[in-house]
Structure 1
Amino acid sequence: MKFEEIEAVMRKNESLSEQFILPGNYIVVRLDGKGFTKLTKEKLTLEKPFDERFGKAMIDTAKHLFNTGFKVLYGYTQSDEISLLIDQDDQTFSRKTRKLNSVLSGEASAFFSLQFQELCVFDCRTIAIPNREMLLDYFCWRQEDAHRNSLSAYCYWTLRNNGYTAKQATGKIEKMTQAEKNELLFQYGINYNTLPLWQKRGVGIYNKELMKQGFNPVTKETVDYMRKELFVEKKLLIRGEYREFLREIFNNK
């Protein structure tokens, strides 16, 4: 078979296997650390259950993804995951899911690896969301997941630091309600309500208009102007208030 004939067959096979995010759908991408449990336990020296340096690396990685060729409207990170909302009308790579997944996972993996000088890998999934309310549901769901995981992590490491084995700690908190977990922490002198919000509710990243000052070389005067900059919100609102916070960001894209 001639080269041209082989190429035609291969190109056809490629095109038939393509998947796209259809027009009118919102594009959400979620990246998760692959094998990060082993990474954080065996290769990195980190504070438990939350480490400032690791948290900053996740935020910086999410910020980096705003500058990879896609029009990202909102980023959210908690633990070892990042969720991105890409503009509904973005046509980068013709909205091919394989390109979204491969480019963003590659960018995140490379950038995060440089922060710790260790091989760190993110997997990636692209999700089509058909309407605004479901979009709000998605980000509220991820924030609630952050809260539940954070509470369990604090309980687990509090028990580990007080003589429990990994198996014993896991078994003790496995069937506890949230109220019981809060009470457990209180018994060890920890008030969960006073812990840093970024650890409990994650971090939001979005473009925000800020007033800046500049110098006009012609008039020799200081001038005020509005400029959009990436803003990191470490004190996110919760539940209904978080939903309204998101709605305002999405309305002002």
Structure 2
Amino acid sequence: MRGLVSWRLSVSFDSRICSAANKSQVVDYFLWRQADAARCALNGWSYWMLRKNGETGENAAVILEKQSVAFKNELLFQNGINFNELPAWQRRGTGLYWEKYDKPGYNPIEGKEVVAVRRRLKVDEDLPVKDEYKEFINQFLNVGD
């Protein structure tokens, strides 16, 4: 089809630098960031639902101001969206981190198959929550101990 361009664009970026005195503060910071991501996601979904239903940006913001999580969930539910059933990355964000993996190879000097440990960037769209998330973050902090 001439002139038809098909593409998908999804861009979001939120990056911060923080100073933490110990590992516990790092874990607390990541727990807070995950909770903040969930709060922002619910607010965003609610805001854009109101906009889709004809509210102006200003009115949508006023309607949502100081409203409870239950109110926002109900607003979405009444419009056919169960927030808790959305993909995890849409509710909690995405994690990017290095992961190690084994890469098979061949050592021509020794004439044998070898395995090299490499690393690659992992895009994790299904991050755990609560205590599992604490353990998940701690695994990165305990490297080299």
TM-score by length of 1: 0.50
* Number of residue pairs matched by the alignment: 137
Partner of 2:11: 54
Partner of 1:141: 32
The one of 130, 136, 142 equivalent to 1:239 is 130
CA drift of 1:199 comes to 2.3
Query: Once structures 1 and 2 are overlaid, which stretch shifts more, 194-203 or 151-160?
Result: 194-203
CA drift of 1:221 comes to 4.6
The one of 48, 57, 82 equivalent to 2:15 is 82
Percentage of identical aligned residues: 40
The one of 174, 177, 187 equivalent to 2:68 is 177
Secondary structure of the residue that 2:54 maps to in structure 1? Answer: coil
Partner of 1:132: 23
Please list the CA deviations of residues 41-64 of structure 1 after superposition, one character each: whole Å capped at 9, or x if unmatched. xxxxxxxxxx95213xxxxxxxxx
Unaligned stretches of 5+ residues in structure 2: 1-7
Counterpart AA for 2:15? I
Please list the CA deviations of residues 121-159 of structure 1 after superposition, one character each: whole Å capped at 9, or x if unmatched. xxxxx5331111111111111111111011000000011
Unaligned stretches of 5+ residues in structure 1: 1-50, 56-79, 84-125
CA RMSD of aligned residues (A): 2.0
Secondary structure of the residue that 1:179 maps to in structure 2? Answer: helix
Query: Once structures 1 and 2 are overlaid, which stretch shifts more, 160-169 or 145-154?
Result: 160-169
Secondary structure of the residue that 2:24 maps to in structure 1? Answer: helix
Please list the CA deviations of residues 76-99 of structure 1 after superposition, one character each: whole Å capped at 9, or x if unmatched. xxxx4113xxxxxxxxxxxxxxxx
Partner of 1:166: 57
Partner of 1:150: 41
CA drift of 1:228 comes to 2.3
Query: Once structures 1 and 2 are overlaid, which stretch shifts more, 153-162 or 212-221?
Result: 212-221
Distance 1:213 1:193 in 2: 41
Partner of 1:192: 83
Distance 2:51 2:14 in 1: 24
